[in-house]
Amino acid sequence: MNSAIPQLHDYLHDAARRAPHKVALVVEDARVTYRELEARSNALANTLVSHGVQRGDRVVVFAENGVEAVVAFWAALKANAVACVINPLTRQDKLAYCLQDCRAAALITDAHLAPAFVPAAARSKWLRAIVCVGPFDPHQTRGLPVIGWEEALADGDPEAPPPRRGLDVDLAAIIYTSGSTGEPKGVMLTHRNMLTAATSISTLLELNGDDVILSVLPLAFNYGLYQMILSVRMGARLVLERSFSFPVTVLEKAVEEQVTGFPGVPTLFSILAELKTLDHYDLSSVRFVTNTADVLTTRHVQLLERLFPRARIYSMYGLTECKRCSCLPPEDLKRKPGSVGFAIPNTELWLVDEHDRRLGPGMVGELVISGATVMLGYWDKPDETAKRLRPGPLPGQQVLYTGDLCRLDDEGYLYFVARMDDIIKSRGEKVAPKEVETALMNVPGVREAAVIGAPDALLGTAVKAFVVLEAGVGLTEKQLQHECKKRIESFMVPRQIVFVPELPKTTTGKIKKTELR
């Protein structure tokens, strides 16, 4: 096998060779060097292979953000397998579905997650090994092929990984979508997909080996996973937090580690906005902030500029099916409010109507993506894959039909409008929930907003909003409706506004509109 063919885990090997004693990972009080990360992942990879894991097998990592989860990801790749990181908050039934669906050969998990993983694993006929971090009850796991984390590391050779068997077109990862509208779908990503995405994004952000990136995002979220991949690619340091449950602790860590990169999502930034002690933290070391999952509002931008006075703010857009596809240059943030910018390097995008005709500026249509970051397909779901991956205009080309409605302005800047299945038809008009949500979010005192369509005897479907107010704010429904009329057309103004203490969210910070309905 030609070892010169690049694969994703070459990033770790190269970083360990260049700077073995450099700190690669910080998790709470633990500090792991590149040499240690390389050695531990080598050892675990060899143990996985000794337990029957072969080229192309799926290795599920069901664990909290931590050193072990990072080691497990790289170990799966070194074992010539496919890494599948699943959020530790996943319930037993969904975990069982994922284990069965991808026919996982190995599971790497935390002992305290036994109430979920034990019954889920017991339902799988494919598992050959379960590596468990922390003390576990042998009676509880009786009948399952469980070995301890320390034993797994001790049994494997830390000096060299197993012989390389794969190619860059082999799968590197399967990332499961949330499944909010049905069964979760496993997005298949090759080494080439992920190498391309990492190269494009690191180039765009001008990352370097001196960067220190702080991430509170779950590794199961592709945005969170790529923070770790990007750090290793550059030989930088990743400060990995388990969650954003204690924002003050996270900010203190950012100051202590002199963080230079801060990836986030709007829901996270909204939490920061309510902290009364923001001005107590010197975050002038942060040179870039990235955002995705939703568009930044004007108020979010103002907050980020105050909190990170020297940072360039990148508003990005993408899907799990193609990682990132566009980015708004920081210098255009105020000139193009609400835009998600241009295609990232090595990516093309355009809009089409329902007849697959290309659309020009100012017209709303489905976003189509072409490039090496586009997924291979959905695992074991050919019909679902065929709906999204279709022949492109060039011979042999496969392009991604995203299911997102967008528009381009006269200068070619992209604006997200709505998911195609989220559009509300009310009073004979089409309403994009995002436009209404943006109007609400720009009202002083509103922390979060979500808009859905609700059955209505007169209108058929009415615009309904759920709003979370900032602490101490006393806005009424009529006041908010009046403010909306200043910002959007009358048919878009919510007929009903429900005030709630918080909005239901996925583990990645996205609002779960299915629960609102």
Q: Which among 366, 389, 418 is the end of a domain?
A: 418
Boundary residue ending a domain (418, 442, 469): 418
Judge contact between 359 and 367, C-beta under 8 A: no
Structure tokens at 202: 């690191």
Angle between helices 10-18 and 222-234 (to 10 degrees): 40
Number of domains the chain contains: 3
Whether 129 maps to a domain, the answer reads yes
The answer to whether position 128 is within a domain reads yes
Tell me, what's the pLDDT at 1?
Answer: 38
Three-state secondary-structure class, residue 120: helix
Tokens found for residue 5: 């063919």
Nearest alpha-carbon partner for 188 in 56, 61, 87: 56
Asked which of 418, 435, 450 is the last residue of a domain, the reply is 418
Where in the sequence is the domain holding 55, given as residue range(s)? 34-188
We report the CATH number of the domain holding residue 297 as 3.40.50.12780
Instruction: List the chain pLDDT tens, one digit each, 517 residues.
Output: 345 689 999 999 999 999 999 999 999 999 999 999 999 999 999 999 999 999 999 999 999 999 999 999 999 999 999 999 999 988 899 999 999 999 999 999 999 999 999 999 999 999 999 999 999 888 888 889 999 999 999 999 999 999 999 999 999 999 998 654 467 899 999 999 999 999 999 999 999 999 999 999 999 999 999 999 999 999 999 999 998 888 999 999 999 999 999 999 888 888 888 888 888 899 999 999 999 877 788 888 888 998 999 999 999 999 999 999 999 999 999 899 889 999 998 999 999 999 999 999 999 999 999 999 999 999 999 999 999 999 999 999 999 999 999 999 999 999 998 888 778 877 667 788 888 998 898 899 999 999 988 887 777 788 999 999 998 898 999 999 999 998 888 888 999 999 999 998 876 677 888 788 7
| Pair 348, 431 in one domain | no
Q: What is the CATH number of the domain that holds 427?
A: 3.30.300.30
Whether residue 373 is found in the same domain as residue 280:
yes
Amino acid at 392: G
- 496 and 456, same structural domain? yes
Strand partners, 351: 367
Structural contact between residues 64 and 52, judged by C-beta atoms closer than 8 angstroms: no
The residue assigned the tokens 């193609």 is 322
If asked whether residues 182 and 304 sit together in one domain, one would say no
pLDDT number for residue 427: 67
Containing 292, the helix (H) or strand (E) segment is: none
On whether both 285 and 385 belong to a single domain, the answer is yes
435 in any annotated domain: yes
Identify the helix (H) or strand (E) that includes residue 419.
strand 414-419
Yes or no: say if 291 and 313 are a contact pair by the CB < 8 Å rule.
yes
- The CB density around residue 443, as the number of other CB atoms within 10 Å, is 20
**Residues 177, 306: one domain?**
no
Distances 86 to 108, 168, 245, 419 between C-alpha atoms, Å: 10, 23, 19, 24
Q: Which helix (H) or strand (E) holds 313?
A: strand 312-319
Question: Is 201 part of any domain?
Answer: no
Going across the sheet that includes 446-456, the strands are 446-456, 460-469, 496-499
**Helical H runs in 206-297?**
222-234, 247-256, 266-273
The answer to whether residue 255 sits within a structural domain is yes
* Residues 182 and 290 occupy one common structural domain: no
Instruction: Give the number of other CB atoms < 10 A from CB of residue 209.
Output: 14
Report the pLDDT value the prediction gives residue 510, as an integer from 0 to 100. 75
What is the model's pLDDT at position 179?
52
Give the Cα separation of 373 and 319 in Å (integer): 10
Statement to judge: residues 390 and 504 lie in one domain: no
The reply to whether 433 and 499 lie within a common domain is yes
> Rounded distance, CA 415 to CA 337, Å?
9
| Biggest alpha carbon–alpha carbon distance for the chain | 71
Whether residue 393 sits in one domain with residue 289: yes
AA letter at 418: A
Q: Is residue 226 part of a domain?
A: no
Do 382 and 459 lie in one domain? The reply is no
From the number of C-beta atoms within 10 Å of its C-beta (0-12, 13-18, 19+), residue 355 rates as exposed
* Tokens standing for residue 281: 């933290």
Q: Give 183-198 as a DSSP string.
A: S--EEEEEHHHHHHHH
The answer as to whether 313 is a domain residue is yes
Question: Are residues 71 and 178 both part of a single domain?
Answer: yes
- pTM (2 d.p.): 0.87
- How far apart are alpha carbons 201 and 224 in whole angstroms? 13
pLDDT of residue 209: 97
CATH, residue 76: 3.40.50.980
In a domain? residue 235 = no
